[in-house]
Structures are given as C-alpha cells and as structure tokens.
Chain A
Amino acid sequence: MIISQRHPDGPVLEARDLYVGFGGRRANPDVRAVDGVELAVEKGQIVALAGESGCGKTTLARTLMGLERPYRGQVHHHGVPLDYHGSALKAYRRKVQLVLQDPTGALNPRRTVYEAVAEGLRIHRVPGDEKVQVAEALSLAGLRPPERFFARYPHELSGGQRQRVVIAGALALKPEVIVADEPVSSLDASVRGEILALLLSLRDELGLTVLVVTHDLGLAWNISDRLAVMYLGRIVESGPTEQVLAAPRHPYTAALLSVLPETQHLKPVILKGETPDPRRIPVGCRFNPRCPALADGTAGAAGVATRCVSEALPILPATTTHEAACLLAGWGG
C-alpha cells in the first residue's frame, strides 16, 4: 500500500528555516504568514499543528504540500528539497494528499461518490482497474460495502459519510502523507470521534503519516503523537503530545489549554484581543503584547521582562524533545 521510499532515513516531510509571505516584494512581503519554522514529520507519525485562525498553520501546511512557495528556506521530502517543476510537483502532490475542513464544500454536488473518488486516479492517470481501486479506497475509509455508495450523490449522505468520501478520494492515490485541515470541525460531536478513529486506524494499519491542522487541542490529545503550537507565524512550543498538554511550557499553550471547557480544573486565562496582525509582528517575543506571564509580573520576577519586549527569540529547532520558545522556559539563554 505504501509507496516505496527512495530515502528510508530521515523525516518524510520537513520545513527548514521556512518563510512564506504574501503581497509586497518577494524577499520582503507585506504579510509574513510563516515566519521562520523548523518542523519534521517522521514516517508513520501523527503530528498536530495547533493554533488560532491567522496563526499561519494552514499556510504552513499548504507550503509543505507544495501549494505555496516559500520566499526563504525549503521544504524537504525524505531529505531532498522539493522540486517545484511540472511533473515532479505533480508526482509529489500525489504522495501528499489534502483532506479539507468542510466535506460539503469539497464535494461537487452533481457528481456521484464514485466519480469523486475516481477523479484523482484519472488526473494522475493511475494504471489498473479503476473500479477496484475506488472500491478499495471507499472500504478503507469505512464506507462498506463500497458498491452501495458508488451511485450516491453527496446530498444523500450524512456529514460523516461525506468526510469519509473525501478521505477515500485521498486514499485512492495511495499517498504517503495525509494533510488534514480541521478534519472534524464542521462535523457533529458524535461523528467527530468516528473520523478521528479512522485517521488513527489508517496510520496503524497502513503506516500513513498524518499532519493534522487544528485549533482543537482535544483532537491532538485524541490522536496525535507530536504537537506543535503555532502563534503568529512561528512554532512556539512543540514536543510529544502528552508532555506538551500535561505540562505546557509556553504561556500561550497554557492559556489555550485553560479555556477549554474540558479542563475545568484549570483557572481560565482568557487572552485579550485576537491573534495580532502578521503585517506588524511585535518587537521582542511576538507573544509579548498578550502574554499573561508578562502582564502579571511573572516575567518581571524572573528578571526577563525587558528582554521579552526587546529581544527576538531564536527559532525552535525540529527536535523530538519538548521545547518552548519562551524566556521563562529557559529558551534563548
């Protein structure tokens, strides 16, 4: 099922010193959506990329898929920099498949389930019996018996079934990696667990690598091996999911965790305002204008308050250990 690997060692996907921007001149864009990211996604891992709207998580995922081009730094696939030319990029995109947030929007209402799943096979001119491949993909996605779904239209399916069709479309191409952007945020609570269990079983049974982009830390707890938290274009904390969620070291992660209804034992730290504008990234630590640890004097007591507002922090490397880009966590010396 898995495509043979030319470079068995090293991460499947890697962001190296990655910067992605929009508008302005290429070397100096107006919006720095991804502003210095190091990330490694190892084979067979489920990595969650968490953060609020506008933090750059979707742009980072799109760049890793080759849908956006960085203005600085590189995306590596098995240690080889991504080739952005015609057929090489097309072949790469076949191996890295995207599953979008809203299955209703992702499916053409006038096309049957069969056509939706077969589309990718046709685009990539995949040899072999189309019908067999579509049936196999549908049953992998949990739509069994697959033949029963062939002639159905999206409106005849429930939300959960539609998301399974979208996942089947990705699986039909036998990808190495699935990038899922908020795969359950538009689904009902009862369906959510079913889709997450499907992603988990695909990893366990097929060895798929999954990068899941989400604002939902509960999802990360449910399925991810590693968690990277993004804020304003950078990863501010990353590590094994258990460690990051059990003992967050960045005040931003701690605040995100504290406002979840499921964490009633924590005192909610409600940050003021929204994610700031990526056109105007604050001087010093980029979180300092909203940082509760700076506002309540914790940073002052630790003697780092002036550095918080003046000193830019070095980029977190793509290590496997638990790290946080915060002076209070000992980052930046």
Chain B
Amino acid sequence: MALLDIRDLEVTYRGSEGDLPAVRGVNLSVEAGQVVGLAGESGCGKSTIAGAVLRLLPASAKVSGEVRLAGEDVLTMSWGRLRAVRWSQASVVFQGAMHALNPVQKVGDQIAEAVLQHTNSRSAGPRVRELLEQVGLPAWRATSYPHELSGGQRQRVMIAMALACGPKLIIADEPTTALDVMVQAQVMSLLGTLVRESGMGMLLISHDLSVLADACDRVAVMYAGRVVEEGPAASVFAEPRHPYARALAAAFPVIGDPASRRAPKGLPGDPPDPRDLPSGCPFRPRCVEAIGMCAEIDIRLRQAGPGRAAACVHVAETVAETEAAAL
C-alpha cells in the first residue's frame, strides 16, 4: 500500500469571479522511502495539492476525489482524526521560512509546541534537542529567536518542527526557494538523508526541475491543473517527452554545455487563465509542436515508455518509433 495515494483529485476555488479549477484530476502516489517531485510554474496547482493532502485549503475550495494517507481517506476523515493525522502522520515544510516562524517566540519553544500538542509527552526539552541535532543545529540554538538565525538555519528549524511527531510523510513546498545555492545544497542533502535513514516518504514541490531531478526518485510535471508528464526523475529531466517538460528542463542551463552558452532558453507566453482554458490541450497556445488535432483532443496521460507517461498527442508516435528502432 502506498504511503500517499491521490486519486482523481479535483480542487475548485469558488469565488465572485466564477469558479477557478486549480486541480483538474490528478493521480499521484508516494511510497515509503521514496521522494516524489512535483514541478510546474506558479498557478499550476502544485501548492493546492500540498494543501489538499492535509485539508489545509480555504473554505472556498471544493475538493473531490480521494487522498489516501496510509490507506485512510483524508477527505472524509472526522476533524478529531484529522488533527491526529496532521503532524504525526504527515507534516508540511512550507516555503518562506522567513515568515512562517513566530518572531517573538524562541525557536525551541516553537518546536516544543508541536511536540506537546501532538504527543503525550509532558516535557519536550530532550526531544527538541534531539530534533535540532537531527537537522544539524547545535542544541543551544533552542534559545534563539528567529531573527538571530540565518535563512538556512530557519529552514532547518522548520524541518525540525515537521519532524517533531515522527511523521511518515513530509510535504516540502519549495523548501529551498529563497536560499543560497550552498545552503540549498545543505538543506536538500539533509532532507535526502532523513528520508533514506527513516524510511519516510516525501513529496517535494518546486518550480525548478533540475533540483527535483537531483533529489527525487520520480517526478510529475504539472500544467494548468493536471499532470502532463510523469516518470523516473532522471529520465524525465534528461529526456522529457512532453513539450512543456522539455521547456522546463531547458530553462536551467547545463554549465559547460556550449548549446546553452549565450543562449538562455525560455518559454514564450503565459500559462492559461484557469477560468478560460483553451479547447483541447491547455498547453497548445504555447506549444511549438502543436498540430491541428491538439485543439480538438483534450489529451490525457498515456504510456510513454517503461514507467513513464505523458499527455501529448505526439507521444504515441515517439514511443512507437523508438520501439520500431529497437527492433
């Protein structure tokens, strides 16, 4: 049984300007000990998925489908059960550690709060010290206020809080976005070690496909509320099948590769307005490979090689060609 199993998830935000479909039918699963990446640009629905897993979305969000956490459906759970599941079964490391911590409370006390709220222990002191050590901070840092810490240290405190109740699943939403490259490498290697050593599962959300390629076992690339490509991280990054995934993979240059020297590659245009999606494939208006039928077929994920899927009309041909070439 998968640790996290998302089936046919749909999330629509209701508002005065009409309904906004943010997630439009997503399937995703995370096994224990596995890091799964979720990539895509702002507004593609990736953070909404993070919120849906623990029912952290605003009341205006209409959610349907299934979110199974160790077999239990989160969406139909009672509030009491949900409170028990949050933190102890699954926890979230949010983006922007700068603002997520209480500025007038010592970080040790903030970690202790998570421990005391969600476990039966009476004193959290030893556990706080253990957690700080686990994330590579000296125990005396418990008495520091957030402003006394650097960005990387604050992000470590956020990770310590997420680990406080020994969750089976960690959802990390852009955990390194505001951090320097070296600190980003430190935080990513810490998260990787935690997953490997404890057998937790992790859903890692980022707009940077290269970070995900490095840290994840599998990745899913989202566009306009749907997964448009999914597969083993390294192969999706090295050989993307969907034109959008190709654009994302090319956005970050390979240093030393003459092809990207003085040739930054972007993707012209903007993502579509979710309230007014184009007919057929939602990526069609920005796609350089779009053909006539793209406007007609609302293409869904299809097999694109072993363990891989992509939602593009060109995919079947490519795979057929590769198979033909292999023969």
Q: Which residues of A contact B (CB under 8 A)?
A: 52-53, 158-161, 188-197, 200, 215-218, 221-223, 242, 245-246, 255-257, 259-264, 268, 270-271, 274-275
Tell me which residues across on chain A come within 8 A of B213, comparing CB atoms. 261
The answer on a CB contact under 8 Å between B264 and A215 is no
Q: Contacting A259 at CB < 8 Å: which of B185, B253, B267? A: B185
* Count of B interface residues, CB-CB < 8 Å: 42
Does B325 lie at the interface of the complex (its beta carbon under 8 Å from any beta carbon of A)? no
Known interface pairs A192-B251, A200-B264; A52-B181 also in contact (CB < 8 Å): yes
Q: Contacting B262 at CB < 8 Å: which of A222, A245, A270? A: A222
The answer on a CB contact under 8 Å between B208 and A189 is yes
The answer on a CB contact under 8 Å between A197 and B253 is no
The answer on a CB contact under 8 Å between A274 and B150 is yes
Q: Contacting B253 at CB < 8 Å: which of A53, A200, A218? A: A218
Q: Contacting A190 at CB < 8 Å: which of B211, B261, B267? A: B267
Does B327 lie at the interface of the complex (its beta carbon under 8 Å from any beta carbon of A)? no
Q: Whole-angstrom distance between the alpha carbons of A270 and B181 in the complex?
A: 10
**9 A/B residue pairs, CB under 8 Å, sorted by A:** A161-B270, A194-B267, A196-B266, A218-B255, A221-B255, A222-B264, A256-B181, A261-B215, A274-B152
Tell me which residues across on chain B come within 8 A of A192, comparing CB atoms. 251-252, 264, 266
Q: How many A-B residue pairs have CB under 8 A?
A: 118
Contact with A along B227-245 (1 / 0, CB 8 A): 0000000000000000000
Instruction: Identify the interface centre among A216, A221, A275: most chain B CB within 10 Å of its CB.
Output: A221
Q: Whole-angstrom distance between the alpha carbons of A47 and B214 in the complex?
A: 29
Known interface pairs A261-B211, A274-B183; A191-B266 also in contact (CB < 8 Å): yes
5 closest Cβ pairs, A-B complex: A193-B266, A194-B266, A196-B264, A259-B185, A190-B267
Tell me which residues across on chain B come within 8 A of A195, comparing CB atoms. 266
Q: Whole-angstrom distance between the alpha carbons of A256 and B265 in the complex?
A: 23
Q: Which residue of B lies closest to A225 (CB)?
A: B262
Known interface pairs A160-B270, A216-B181, A270-B186; A189-B264 also in contact (CB < 8 Å): no
Shortest distance in angstroms between A205's beta carbon and chain B's nearest beta carbon?
14
Instruction: Identify the interface centre among A160, A260, A268: most chain B CB within 10 Å of its CB.
Output: A260
Q: Which residue of B lies closest to A192 (CB)?
A: B251
